[in-house]
Homo-oligomer: A and B are copies of this chain.
Amino acid sequence: MELYGERGYEQTTVAEIANRAGLTERTFFRHFADKREVLFWGGGALQELLVSSVADAPESTAPIDAVAAAFEGAGARLQERREHSRQRQAIITANAELRERELIKLASFASALADALRRRGVADTAASLAAEVGIAVFRVAFERWIDTGQPDFPQLIRESFDELKVVTGHGRRRDLDR
């Protein structure tokens, strides 16, 4: 992150990173699958948090609410290192390759969440929908958290899920709809 922050992601060579760490280029690639991966180390922890949060939700909780609660928890975790999250995100949004990696991570979150929901007995499509939509809402909330100065991330998440219900709920029934 030091080097990526100083000279930008593309301008930083793997040899430089390895050198600053006192290692060889070859050794770098033994620890990280590719140049981007350094920035995403530990992403697994957040995923586990999300999954266990969904798994542990009260049985009566509706799928979308379980997902929302999971993201609030994840949001709280991220908030503990707000400045770190901000810097990291600045680096990521500045580079296309990194944005791609970020999207893959989120897609992986979505499928893990969908699995967790299915284990609760939620039907296939409903599980996928709740998970994917949850990710979508989280993305919007995250962007607002970074862009606006607003400090309370979990609350932003909560508001965004509330607004989701408004956005989907006030839709006029279409004539196609039986």
Residues of B within 8 A of A121 (CB): 177-178
* Cα distance A26–B166 in the bound complex, in angstroms: 52
Chain B hits for A166, CB < 8 A: 126
Answer yes or no: A162 CB below 8 A from chain B CBs.
yes
Q: Contact flags (1/0) for A82-119 with B, using CB distance below 8 Å?
A: 00000000000000100111011001000000000000
Copies in the complex: 2
The reply on A122 being an interface residue by CB < 8 A is: yes
Q: Is A123 an interface residue (CB 8 A)?
A: yes
CA separation between A160 and B63, bound complex, in Å?
Answer: 16
A144 / chain B contacts, CB cutoff of 8 Å: 125
Contacting chain B: which of A4-12, A17-25, A45-53, A168-176?
A: A168-176
* Cα distance A140–B169 in the bound complex, in angstroms: 20
* Chain A residues bordering chain B, tally (CB within 8 A): 50
Cβ-defined partner of A132 (8 Å) among B60, B68, B136, B162: B136
Which residues of B have CB within 8 Å of A78? none
Q: Is A74 an interface residue (CB 8 A)?
A: no
Closest to A101 in B: B100
Q: Say whether B103 contacts A171, CB under 8 Å.
A: no
Contact indicator A139/B132 (Cβ below 8 Å)? yes
